Amino acid sequence: MYAHPVAESYCAALRDRVVQALASARHEVDVLDLYTDGFEAALSRQERLDYHDERLNTHGIERHVDLVRKCEVLVFVYPTWWYGLPAIMKGWLDRVWVPGVAFTLPQRDAPIRGLLPNIVRIVGVTTSGSPHWWLVLMGNPGRRTITRGVRALCHHSCRTRWLQHYNIDRSTDSSRAAFLERVSRELARL
C-alpha cells in the first residue's frame, strides 16, 4: 500500500526498497499505488448509504478488496502528514475496510470482529518532519491507526513492525541512505 503524489519522492525510493526486499525473500508482491491508480479517497453519498449493505458496499473497489482478502503481509509506505496518514490512504481504509470485508458490525455491547485472519504481518514505513518525541506527545495517530486499529481486524496473532525516519526535513543523504538500508534489512526478514 503506497501513497505519495510525487513520483520522484523519497517515499517512492522506500516503496521500491520494500518491493525489492520482499521479492528477494520470495514473496509475491502486489503494489497498490493510490495516486497512480487515481483512487478516489472520498466516500460518495451512495457509498455511505450502501456502507452497511454487504451486497453493495464493495462496488467499484473489488480489486482492492480481493487483494486485502488474499494478502498475508500488508505494508504501508507513506509520508506522515499532520501526524497521520495522507487523506488518500485514510480514504482507502474508509472505502475498502468495510463491514463484511474487514469486520462484522457489533451486536449489542460486543466489539466489532475482524474478518481478515489471512493478514499475519503489518509493517508501517513512513517519514515525518517531526522528531520522535513530538509525535509521541501528539499520540502518533498514524502509527496507532495501523498498528492498533488495522491490526485489530487481522489474525489474532498478527505482528506489527514500525519503521519511521523522523526529522526528514533535516535529514542528510547519509541518514536517508541508512534508513533505506534498514528498511531493506527488516523487510527481507519477513
Q: Which residue has the cell 480514504?
A: 91
The pairing of strands 103-104 and 113-114 is: antiparallel
Mean pLDDT of 11-29: 97
pLDDT at 111: 86
Spatial distance between the Cα atoms of 95 and 175, rounded to a whole number of angstroms: 35
Is the pLDDT reported for residue 108 higher than 90?
no
Q: How sure is the predictor about 168, in pLDDT bands with cuts at 50, 70 and 90?
A: very high
pLDDT at 186: 97
CATH superfamily of 10-188: Flavodoxin domain (3.40.50.360)
Q: How sure is the predictor about 105, in pLDDT bands with cuts at 50, 70 and 90?
A: confident
For 182, left (φ over 0), alpha (ψ -120 to 50), or beta? alpha
**Is the pTM higher than 0.85?**
yes
Is the pLDDT reported for residue 163 higher than 90?
yes
Domain spans, the chain: 10-188
Q: What is the mean pLDDT of the chain?
A: 96
Tell me the per-residue pLDDT of 112-141, one tens digit each, with 9 for 90 and over: 999 999 999 999 999 999 999 999 999 999
Q: How sure is the predictor about 9, in pLDDT bands with cuts at 50, 70 and 90?
A: very high
Spatial distance between the Cα atoms of 141 and 148, rounded to a whole number of angstroms: 10
pLDDT at 18: 98
Tell me the per-residue pLDDT of 29-74, one tens digit each, with 9 for 90 and over: 999 999 999 999 999 999 999 999 999 999 999 999 999 999 999 9
Is the pLDDT reported for residue 106 higher than 90?
no
Cα separation of the two ends of the chain: 16
Buried b (16+ CB within 10 A) or exposed e, 36-67: eeebebeeeeebeebeeeeeebbeebeebbee
